[in-house]
Amino acid sequence: MMLASAVRNLSRRSFSTSKAVSAQQLTVRDALNAALDEEMERDEKVFLLGEEVAQYDGAYKVSRGLWKKYGDKRVIDTPITEMGFAGIAVGAAMAGLRPVCEFMTFNFSMQAIDQVINSAAKTFYMSAGTVNVPIVFRGPNGAAAGVAAQHSQCFGAWYAHCPGLKVVSPYDSEDAKGLLKAAIRDPDPVVVLENEMLYGVGYPVSDQVLDKNFVLPIGKAKIMRPGKHITIVAHSKSVETALQAANELAGKGIEAEVINLRSLRPLDSETIFKSVQKTHHLVTVEQGWPQSGIGSEICARIMEHETFYHLDAPIWRVTGVDVPMPYAKTLEAAALPQVPDVVTAVNKVLGVK
């Protein structure tokens, strides 16, 4: 009896047409799926290939329904050979198609890094601008849960290091849809670093985001929360950590401005500069390793810019620990930035005890 009542209540909620409950909540998975579907419908040159993307609907169900809708020629299951199918995708892009190449995890992109860097990223330059390579490399990046060192690293700094690539790192559903659509339409190679832990998370979205013409510009950050005391810059899942820390800090009277980078290459330095010139303090947050990371690059850019003279305290980086990811659950948590780490960093930068 209780079960039947619960089902009836869920049914009523599912079909509610009120603004609060109508289709304004979108998971990151569904946002990516919608972006792929809309772009494949818009341009017949767009196709998807990768391991289990077709008949299985994708390892993370991001490509759910696309094989049934578009067929074998546009949603292609590949053998387990990243170097092979990435090479096929790059060649198809050189020939004028627009492939979306899915890596089951970006850790596996190391098998194909010669194709990503030497074949995709460098060809436009080496052909004196005569050969475009309009390809998207996408898939989950960074730490998941309980998958240890070989499946948990962040490739943001790796790929952002390379000229010829654009690199985006979406956080929420708005980011995921708008940035993937922009990546597919871009004339050059774009790396889309998603996060497995965010796929099933629902975020509120506006009608504008649900529109088929919604696209976000690559290279533009977003201020997620305005503040006046300190700037916190993050990307991907670390934006969530930064926002949670900002909420905790607000309870102590510290208003943190949280910037979601969205794009790692090109990096939106101007938005960071303007924020730091206002707050005079900066903390960066990322799940990647500390050496030569995204936070390191931000520190260098500020030091080389007049914004350096607006700082009232040194910049503080909050990063993943400088070790391969442990398998043990407690050690895994200790190896990743947590909310208390960000709060502690902010207190140290502001001189709060």
Largest CA distance in the chain: 71
Q: Is residue 257 included in any domain, yes or no? A: yes
Asked if 139 and 194 touch (Cβ cutoff 8 Å), the reply is yes
Give the domain-ending residue among 144, 178, 210: 210
Q: Is residue 291 included in any domain, yes or no? A: yes
Q: Is residue 1 included in any domain, yes or no? A: no
Residue range of the domain that includes 109: 26-210
- Does 327 lie in the same domain as 279? yes
Q: Is residue 227 included in any domain, yes or no? A: yes
Active-site residue, from 52, 151, 248, 255 = 151
- Does 326 lie in the same domain as 301? yes
CATH number at residue 304: 3.40.50.920
Q: Is residue 141 included in any domain, yes or no? A: yes
Q: Is residue 215 included in any domain, yes or no? A: no
Asked if 186 and 124 touch (Cβ cutoff 8 Å), the reply is no
Helices (H), the chain: 2-14, 28-42, 66-70, 82-94, 113-114, 123-126, 156-160, 173-185, 207-210, 237-250, 269-279, 294-303, 329-335, 339-350
Tally of domains in the chain: 2
Give the domain-ending residue among 210, 240, 268: 210
Burial of residue 211 (number of CB atoms within 10 Å: 0-12, 13-18, 19+) = exposed
- Does 94 lie in the same domain as 186? yes
- Does 192 lie in the same domain as 278? no
- Does 129 lie in the same domain as 64? yes
- Which two tokens mark 273? 């500069």
Query: What tens digit of pLDDT does each residue of 244-274 get?
Result: 999 999 999 999 999 999 999 999 999 999 9
- Does 165 lie in the same domain as 241? no
Name residues of the chain where pLDDT drops below 50: 1-21
CATH number at residue 115: 3.40.50.970
CA distance 141 to 192: 9
Phi then psi for residue 138, to 5 deg, are -140, 160
- Which two tokens mark 65? 């329904």
Supply the pTM of this predicted model. 0.91
- Does 161 lie in the same domain as 115? yes
CA distance 175 to 218: 10
| pLDDT for position 353 | 81
Known active-site residue 151: yes
Q: Is residue 217 included in any domain, yes or no? A: no
- Does 99 lie in the same domain as 230? no
Give the domain-ending residue among 210, 233, 258: 210
Q: Is residue 63 included in any domain, yes or no? A: yes
- Does 277 lie in the same domain as 188? no
Active-site residue, from 38, 39, 51, 82 = 82
What is the distance in angstroms between the CA of the first residue and the CA of the last residue of the chain? 55
| pLDDT for position 137 | 98
Known active-site residue 310: no
CA–CA distance from 230 to each of 61, 270, 296 (Å)? 39, 16, 18
Dihedral of alpha carbons 86, 110, 181, 53, sign: positive
